[in-house]
Structure 1
Amino acid sequence: MTNSYDQSDLNIYGAEDDFEMDAILDAMEKATSSTPLDSTEPADKDWSQLLAVPRRAASGLTRADLPNEPGVYLWSRGGAPQYVGKATSLQTRLSTHLGGGVNLAGSSLRRNVCALLFQIPPNVTGNPTRQKVTTEQATAIRNWLLSCDVSWLLARTEHDAAALETRLRHAFRPPLNRV
């Protein structure tokens, strides 16, 4: 059963719909009440650890370069952190973000870059049946992402990745994350 949230609840947590809101609240609950592994490190140590791992130019990444494991990833541009996310498979998720199609529904990062570049709100481009961007806009979004660096930390489990991402997003609020 899916709960029904009002638009202000969705906006506060950056959720696109009730399903995503449920997932965010579940991750937050697990992050605050789970195993010692999820809660022993303070968020600033997590952030330092993520910033310390080597960054790779997004333009040079191939699927084969990316681990097919859960983890947390960071997009940086000009040395400044822009977006942090979690993945059950870093390979699949980062490949989705690097896509170039006109449908942005599968990538919150691409929707947020679209909002930055073209002032089209993510809730407009987030649903597969809603507005799609033009080919030129999709190319500009992809080029913006290709000018970024990407780094990641592997996690033991999907749950650990979700907990870490929640702590990082709420503690540091990267500009392209909607918290």
Structure 2
Amino acid sequence: MNSYSHSDLNIYGAEDDFEMDAILDAIDEATSSTTPDSAEPSGKDWTRLLAAPRRAASNLTRSDLPNEPGVYLWSRNEVPQYVGTATSLQKRLSTHLGGGVSLAGSSLRRNVCELLFQIPPNVTGNPTRQKVTTGQATAIRGWLLGCDVSWLREHTERDAAALEARLRLVYRPPLNRV
């Protein structure tokens, strides 16, 4: 077992060295084993999305993001992790990059929470239900900041929703739910 400083324990919300080891092991395992359950994404819609410019989430600023409808993709180590739709890419991606302890506004953050800490999304999905610790919120945000984000703008919200539906019909990334 490792010995951690009190600041390390506080950052991740761990009570002791044993819990800190468990948190770091969960993060390592989640980071190294996030591969899709099905075959590689395919089809013309996926080809377009995968060809869109990727930006490191850690370098994104609100002004980098279009305030238009569209579909976005989170990838980690070149592997698609999550596809979503937005009425405003700027607002939606900013919500996903939030660092607060309430996960109610972001299904992506709830799903990363489940991946890292095995807390089901239905537990953290309602604003009046369980919130994560500050350390867990920091770990979730850290995981997301290790991703790349790409997006396709669409003319209307309806076009964006239709594109996402077609994408998910062909391939469902591991952090998307049914």
Q: TM-score, with normalisation over the residues of structure 2? A: 0.76
Counterpart for residue 15 of structure 1:
none
Post-superposition shift, 1:170?
Answer: 2.3
Sequence identity percentage: 82
Structure 2 residue ranges without an equivalent (≥5):
1-41
Secondary structure of 1:136 counterpart? helix
Post-superposition shift, 1:74?
Answer: 0.1
Structure 1 residue ranges without an equivalent (≥5):
1-42
Counterpart for residue 129 of structure 2:
130
Counterpart for residue 114 of structure 1:
113
For 1:67-120, what per-residue CA distance to the aligned partner results, in whole angstroms no more than 9, with x for missing partners? 000000000000000000000000000000000000000000000000000000
1: distance between equivalents of 2:168 and 2:112? 17
Amino acid at match of 1:124: V
4+ runs deviating over 3 angstroms: none
2: distance between equivalents of 1:161 and 1:104? 24
Q: Which has the larger radius of gyration?
A: 2
Q: TM-score, with normalisation over the residues of structure 1? A: 0.76
Post-superposition shift, 1:125?
Answer: 0.4
For 1:113-158, what per-residue CA distance to the aligned partner results, in whole angstroms no more than 9, with x for missing partners? 0000000000110000000000000000000000000000000100
2: distance between equivalents of 1:148 and 1:112? 14
2: distance between equivalents of 1:60 and 1:44? 29
For 1:14-163, what aligned pairs fall within 5 Å after superposition? 44-163=43-162
RMSD, aligned α-carbons? 0.8
Secondary structure of 1:141 counterpart? helix
Q: How many residues align?
A: 137
